[in-house]
Amino acid sequence: MLNYICHNKHSSTSTMSLFTYIKLLLTPVFFSIFFITTFLLPSCNAPKVVPTSPSNDQAYEINFEQSEMLMPVLEKAKQEGKMVFVDFYADWCLPCKLMEEDVFTDPEIGKLFNETFLNMHVDGESGAGSNLVSIFEVKVYPTLLFLDYDGKVIVRKEGAAFHSELRDLANQAIKGGNPN
């Protein structure tokens, strides 16, 4: 085709062929750029794109404490003899949203976590959440922490954890952080 275009560069057919040739070259480039920007670039380390909040009709089975401050939750955990589970999230984080929709709404997970832990759901980019992000050196959303009632990290997980993995992390925390 390139030979045809070079030999017939003054005819109207060659312009049409040149246009078709350029179109054939650019189409895969366009789809490659579309694929990369749509599916590969968005991650939880990317800048905030569109802030959204969980839907109001979504009910978590895990009872999250209504406190932005960690100290009152630690004090309550000490009184109740429980550990603390902290989920650091961001509104724009897709894995965080998947955990909110699929894991935190699971009745079995809710039962385990409500019986064993005081639970915190911390927006790492607003309010006191940004201070806790600094204290616990959160670099990735979600970051899941299991703390003793003194605030010491027993188990730490960076990235999403779905049903079985989250249950395993909770059991590891119950055993004092020892994976065996």
Q: Which amino acid is at 50?
A: V
- pTM, to two decimals: 0.68
Average pLDDT over residues 146-175: 95
pLDDT at residue 13 greater than cutoff 90: no
What domain range is 8 assigned to? Answer: 2-40
| 107 and 155 both lie in a single domain | yes
| 83 and 162 both lie in a single domain | yes
**Amino acid 59: pLDDT:** 80
Q: Using CA atoms of 91, 94, 100, 103 in order, give the dihedral in degrees to the nearest 10.
A: -160
Domain total of the chain: 2
| 80 and 25 both lie in a single domain | no
Assess if residue 64 is contained within a domain: no
Average pLDDT, the chain: 80
Assess if residue 146 is contained within a domain: yes
pLDDT at residue 36 greater than cutoff 70: no
Nearest to 150 by CA among 53, 66, 83, 60: 83
Beta strands per DSSP E along 4-142: 83-89, 117-123
Quick one: tokens of 165?
């993995």
| 30 and 112 both lie in a single domain | no
| pLDDT 10s digits, 17-28 | 666 666 666 666
Going by pLDDT thresholds of 50, 70 and 90, the confidence category of residue 49 is very low
**Amino acid 179: pLDDT:** 60
Q: 3-class SS at 152? A: coil
Residue 46, CB half-sphere, CA atoms under 13 Å: how many? 16
